Amino acid sequence: MKKAFLVLCMVVFAFTVSCATDRPVTTVKENARSFEKLAHEHYNRGDFQNAILFFRKALSEDRKVGNFEGMASDLYNIARCYLNFGLYENARKVLDEAIEINGHIENNSGLGDDHSLLGAISTREKKYEEAMDLYKKALAFYRDAKNEKGRATVHNNIGSLHIKMGRYEEARESIESSITIHSRIKNHAGLAAAYNNLGYLFELENNPQKALEYYLLALGEDQYLENSLGISSDLHNIGGYYKKLGDFENALFYYKRALEVNRELGIIARERQDLDMIIDILGTAGREEEKALYEKALKELIGAEEKSS
- pLDDT digits 0-9 by tens, 240-297: 999 999 999 999 999 999 999 999 988 888 999 999 999 999 999 999 999 999 999 9
CA pair distance 118, 108, nearest whole angstrom: 15
Section 148-175 average pLDDT: 98
pLDDT tens digits for 71-130? Answer: 999 999 999 999 999 999 999 999 999 999 999 999 999 999 999 999 999 999 999 999
pLDDT reported for residue 163: 97
Per-residue model confidence as pLDDT tens digits over 188-222: 999 999 999 999 999 999 999 999 999 999 999 99
Tell me the domain boundaries of the chain: 31-127
CATH code of 31-127, in short, is 1.25.40.10
Give the pTM.
0.85
* R_g of the chain computed on alpha carbons: 25
- pLDDT given for residue 132 in this prediction: 98
pLDDT computed for residue 21 by the predictor:
53
**Among the listed residues 242, 290, 291, 239, the one whose alpha carbon sits nearest the alpha carbon of residue 262:** 239
- Residue 261: predicted pLDDT: 95
Measuring CA to CA, which residue among 205, 144, 153 is closest to residue 178?
Answer: 153
* pLDDT of amino acid 292: 96
Closest among 165, 96, 169, 104 to 132, alpha carbons compared: 165
User: What pLDDT sits at residue 45?
Assistant: 84
Single out the residue of 141, 161, 162 nearest to residue 151, CA to CA: 141
pLDDT at 159: 98
pLDDT band of 11, cuts 50, 70, 90: very low
Mean pLDDT of the chain: 91
Rounded CA gap, 260 and 274, in Å?
Answer: 9
pLDDT tens for each residue of 12-71:
434 444 455 565 657 999 999 999 999 999 998 888 999 999 999 999 999 999 999 999
User: Over the stretch 219-230, which tens digit does the pLDDT of each residue have?
Assistant: 999 999 999 999
Quickly state the pLDDT bin for 1 (edges 50, 70, 90). very low
- Please choose, from the candidates 113, 111, 75, 116, the residue with its C-alpha nearest in 3D space to the C-alpha of residue 95: 75
Q: What angle do CA 67, 80, 137 make, to 5 degrees?
A: 80
| 92-109 confidence digits (pLDDT tens) | 999 999 999 999 999 999
**What phi and psi values does residue 146 have, to the nearest 5 degrees?**
55, 40
Percent of the chain with pLDDT over 90: 85
